[in-house]
Amino acid sequence: MALIGFMEFFSKGKTFRPKKKFNPGTLRYSLHKQAQASLSSGINLRSVVQLPEGEELNDWIAVHVVDFFNRIALIYGTVSEYCTEETCQTMSGGPRFEYLWEDGHKYKKPTAFPAPQYIALLMDWVEAQINNETMFPVSTDVPFPRTFIPLCRKILKRLFRVFVHVYIHHFDRIVAIGAEPHVNTCYKHFYYFVREFDLVNTKELEPLKEMTAHICRDQSPTPQNSTDTPNK
């Protein structure tokens, strides 16, 4: 499929929450536009995710975390009316995988929720992280904290679970509205990015392993990160 169609889908589609945007004139905005231009040009996705020469890794990761948050929110928005507490009583990815919510504040212990409630909590949490200027500095004069990469790993790990739930429980809806090529492209972009920079544990990627092998055929071996627990 044409990547231009993918970009049009993600620029026109409705999301179930406001998009996070970069301020024009900033370095992050420039990087965001550079990433968008590369993605819509038809370049191989494995090349698109690579760090541009001369750019800082943290800036590149920050831009992609925000972009992935926006796109995954949109993807879920296309199926959200079919994802209810009655149809999706647990946040799962098939019978082998159930995700529990823990945020260290209101929910200090892993807690089970129906999928729509879990995803709402997840998106609220991610939005709070990327809007926190001490964690995601707006100005390049402000350094990223040492905890930035670990936080991004947690954000991306949790966003991946929305892909899991949508693919396993709502893919029929994605196909019905003709969004399958667009969602697949978004997933491939996400997958190549997190593997390029070792940002998601391979254990977390297990629920979509077979599908990934089918649509991401130019995979290459990547190091494993075993620091995350799979259900929080």
Q: Is 165 annotated as a binding residue?
A: yes
CA–CA dist 143, 146 (Å, integer): 9
One-letter amino acid at 28 equals: R
Both tokens assigned to 16: 């179930």
**The whole model's pTM is what?**
0.80
Cα–Cα nearest to 162, from 91, 70, 64: 91
CA–CA dist 69, 58 (Å, integer): 16
Q: Supply angle C-alpha 230, 124, 91, rounded to 5.
A: 40
One-letter amino acid at 201 equals: N
Q: How far is CA 29 from CA 139, 154, 189, 222, in A?
A: 11, 23, 19, 29
Q: Is 32 annotated as a binding residue?
A: no
Q: For residues 159 and 69, is the Cβ–Cβ distance under 8 A?
A: yes
Return per-residue pLDDT of the chain as tens, 232 residues: 344 444 455 555 445 455 555 555 454 555 545 555 545 545 678 888 999 888 899 989 998 999 899 899 989 998 999 999 999 999 998 888 999 999 988 999 999 999 999 999 999 999 999 999 899 988 778 899 999 999 999 999 999 999 999 999 999 999 998 888 889 889 999 999 999 999 999 999 999 999 999 888 754 534 444 344 445 6
Q: Is 170 annotated as a binding residue?
A: yes
One-letter amino acid at 145 equals: P
Both tokens assigned to 36: 């968008």
Q: Is 64 annotated as a binding residue?
A: no
Count other C-beta atoms under 10 Å from residue 153's C-beta: 21
Q: For residues 71 and 10, is the Cβ–Cβ distance under 8 A?
A: yes
CA–CA dist 130, 28 (Å, integer): 13
Instruction: Write down the domain spans for the chain.
Output: 25-216
Which CATH number does the domain 25-216 belong to among 1.20.140.30, 2.60.40.10, 1.20.5.50, 3.90.226.10?
1.20.140.30
Both tokens assigned to 106: 């209101």
